[in-house]
């Protein structure tokens, strides 16, 4: 199922991805936010799983997923360097959207004890370069080292289910 959702996301035009993110954000009564010109939409199930989308004016995007019950829940480890490394390979301007930002229900911060720097924690880190979606290299490297299935352990499948990629989508169909 994870590969099917990944393929469906890849086949969906970014404008439609953004529309779905905005609809789900509104239906779940999460307030969209602007972050350095990017628009942030989010979803959470109220039980610790979440997705946060950042859409930039130049038609790129950053997607963070989190499943609190997975092996990729790095929040409990409180290791800033491991979380920061998951963002490896993502363009720096996209990473800046989640570094040293206020936390919210969908995205809590991990703090670097030495510098006080913060980064939003995520189990899955994905980004769109204007043409196609990528899984962050740092995220994939970590999963290879730990023997983890990136799409399964990141909460990708569960967190993106509500967006119905590869299916018809209309307000009220989520859930």
The pLDDT of 113-120, averaged and rounded, is: 88
Rounded Cα–Cα distance for residues 134 and 147 (Å): 20
User: Region 21-26: what's the mean pLDDT?
Assistant: 95
**Residue ranges of the domains in the chain?**
2-161
Distances (CA, A) of 7 to 12, 104, 148, 165, 166: 9, 29, 20, 9, 8
pLDDT (0 to 100) of residue 174: 52
Per-residue pLDDT tens for 60-98? 999 999 887 776 776 666 788 888 999 999 999 999 999
Assess whether pLDDT exceeds 70 at residue 39: yes
* Arithmetic mean of pLDDT, 97-115: 83
Say what the pLDDT of residue 107 is. 74
Is residue 106 over pLDDT 90? no
What does the block give as tokens for 117?
Answer: 């720097």
């Amino acid at each position: 199922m994870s590969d099917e959702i990944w393929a469906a996301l890849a086949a969906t035009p970014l404008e439609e991805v953004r529309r779905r993110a905005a609809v789900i954000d509104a239906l779940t009564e999460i307030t969209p936010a602007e972050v350095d010109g990017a628009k942030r939409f989010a979803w959470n199930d109220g039980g610790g799983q979440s997705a946060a989308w950042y859409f930039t004016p130049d038609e790129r995007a950053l997607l963070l997923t989190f499943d609190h019950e997975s092996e990729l829940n790095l929040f409990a480890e409180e290791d800033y360097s491991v979380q920061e490394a998951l963002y490896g390979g993502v363009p720096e301007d996209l990473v800046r959207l989640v570094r040293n930002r206020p936390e919210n229900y969908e995205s809590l911060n991990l703090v670097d004890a030495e510098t006080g720097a913060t980064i939003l924690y995520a189990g899955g880190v994905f980004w769109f370069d204007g043409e196609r979606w990528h899984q962050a290299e740092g995220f994939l490297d970590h999963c290879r080292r730990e023997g983890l299935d990136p799409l399964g352990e990141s909460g990708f499948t569960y967190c993106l289910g509500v967006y119905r990629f590869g299916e018809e989508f209309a307000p009220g169909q989520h859930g």
